[in-house]
Amino acid sequence: MSLPQVSSLTVQELAQKLQQEGSQLQLIDVREPEELALASIPGFQNFPLSQFPYWYNTICQTLDPTKETLVLCHHGIRSARVCAVLINLGFQQVKNIAGGIDAYAREIDPTVGRY
């Protein structure tokens, strides 16, 4: 399976989209539950990368492959991998959040925890 080109979104663009289109977006956080306990952004659904074998076969039924889907992790590495998988599964509007939740906490919302 070849890895497709993954588009990315800055945390500034994410903040703007959350304000304008929040309810129309599919938001995925691929970090582990322990990480979510330290820092999270409301509205994101958790699909931990470590549990990939458990959600891989059902994610197309859980989420809409035609909706804009934004994927988050700590710094943007794990989320980029999941974006590639989603694109290979037929998701049409997938974007990786560059810099992850760490950049979001630094640049957008200092009340979001950092670790």
Phi, psi of 101 (to 5 degrees): -65, -25
Q: Which of 9, 39, 72, 73 is catalytic?
A: 73
Whether the Cβ atoms of residue 80 and residue 49 lie closer than 8 Å to each other: no
**H/E stretch holding 32:** none
83 is a catalytic site residue: no
Q: How far apart are CA 59 and CA 84, in angstroms?
A: 14
User: Looking at the annotation, which residues are catalytic?
Assistant: 73
